[in-house]
């Protein structure tokens, strides 16, 4: 896999063309700071996270709670509360297994639909991806998709920018049924 700075630059530039944002960050502390900033800026009251790894999840949770918003990892939520919280969340934060520089796409395999709904229901989706996992071209996905669909029954979502429509006179409008905003954070190291 190519992880050169060209790949990252291309990925970010594609995201921007799609009306999303992309940011390359070095450390967890940077990520926490950046996301906290977004939470304040968007006035979010409820933030849900999933599939992030324990350390990042707990650091984010601490930071976001300290600025006065509620923040939970869906793994820690009482399952009977899960649906209600997902419906109410202002921001969903997820990891991503892969990203495709050529198209500005995120590829996310979800163990269950609570995870998947994190990037469906809230009006804002924040994804965190390790720089290592950005591939250059869409066609390179074939092998990975085969493997993932062969082992287990996960649902895979390939997400390219915020939700959009052009159904009325071809005018592009963002945020129909999915998120209106998408922010992608590229981490220099591993997302645990």
Could you say whether residue 46 binds other proteins (CB under 8 A)? no
Would you state the structure tokens that stand for residue 67, as one six-digit string? Answer: 């600025």
In terms of DSSP H, where are the helices of the chain?
Answer: 5-17, 28-42, 54-66, 79-88, 113-117, 141-150
Q: Which stretch binds other proteins (CB under 8 A): 5-13, 25-33, 57-65, 97-105?
A: 97-105
Q: What residues contact 165, with CB distance under 8 A and at least 6 apart?
A: 172, 173, 176
Query: Which member of 3, 23, 34, 164 binds other proteins (CB under 8 A)?
Result: 164
Check binding of 157 to other proteins (CB under 8 A): yes
We find the least distance from the C-beta atom of residue 41 to other proteins, in angstroms, to be 21
Token pair for residue 81? 């509360």
Shortest Å, Cβ 189 to other proteins: 27
Q: Which is nearer to other proteins, 59 or 85 (CB)?
A: 85
**Does 155 contact other proteins by CB under 8 A?**
yes
- Within 8 A by CB and 6+ apart from 86, the residues are 48, 74, 114, 117, 118, 121, 122
Does 76 bind other proteins (CB under 8 A)? Our answer is no
Contact call for residue 24 and other proteins (CB under 8 A): no
Using the rule CB under 8 A, is 111 a contact of other proteins? yes
Binding residue for other proteins, selected from 2, 66, 176, 192, defined by CB under 8 A: 176
According to the binding rule CB under 8 A, does residue 158 interact with other proteins? yes
Which of 2, 27, 66, 112 lies at the binding interface for other proteins (CB under 8 A)?
Answer: 112
91-95 vs 46-50, strand pairing mode: parallel
What element of type H or E holds 46? strand 46-50
Binding range to other proteins, per CB under 8 A, among 23-31, 47-55, 63-71, 170-178: 170-178
CA dist., res. 2 & res. 25, Å (int): 18
Task: Find residue 64's DSSP bridge partners.
Answer: none
| Residue 21 in the binding site for other proteins (CB under 8 A) | no
Quick one: which of 2, 13, 66, 165 contacts other proteins (CB under 8 A)?
165
Q: What are the beta bridge partners of residue 84?
A: none
């Amino acid at each position: 896999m190519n992880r050169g700075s060209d790949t990252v630059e291309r990925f970010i530039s594609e995201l921007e063309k799609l009306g999303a944002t992309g940011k390359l960050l070095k450390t967890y502390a940077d990520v926490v700071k950046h996301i906290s900033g977004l939470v304040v800026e968007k006035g979010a009251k409820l933030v849900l996270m999933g599939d992030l790894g324990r350390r990042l999840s707990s650091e984010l949770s601490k930071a976001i709670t300290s600025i006065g918003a509620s923040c939970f990892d869906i793994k820690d939520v009482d399952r009977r509360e899960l649906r209600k919280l997902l419906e109410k969340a202002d921001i969903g934060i997820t990891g991503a297994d892969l990203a495709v520089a050529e198209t500005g796409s995120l590829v996310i395999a979800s163990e269950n639909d609570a995870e998947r709904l994190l990037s469906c229901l809230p009006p804002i989706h924040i994804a965190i991806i390790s720089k290592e996992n950005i591939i250059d071209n869409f066609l390179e996905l074939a092998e990975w998709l085969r493997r993932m669909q062969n082992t287990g029954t996960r649902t895979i979502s390939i997400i390219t920018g915020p939700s959009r429509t052009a159904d009325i006179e071809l005018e592009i409008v963002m945020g129909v049924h999915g998120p209106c905003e998408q922010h992608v954070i590229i981490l220099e190291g591993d997302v645990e």
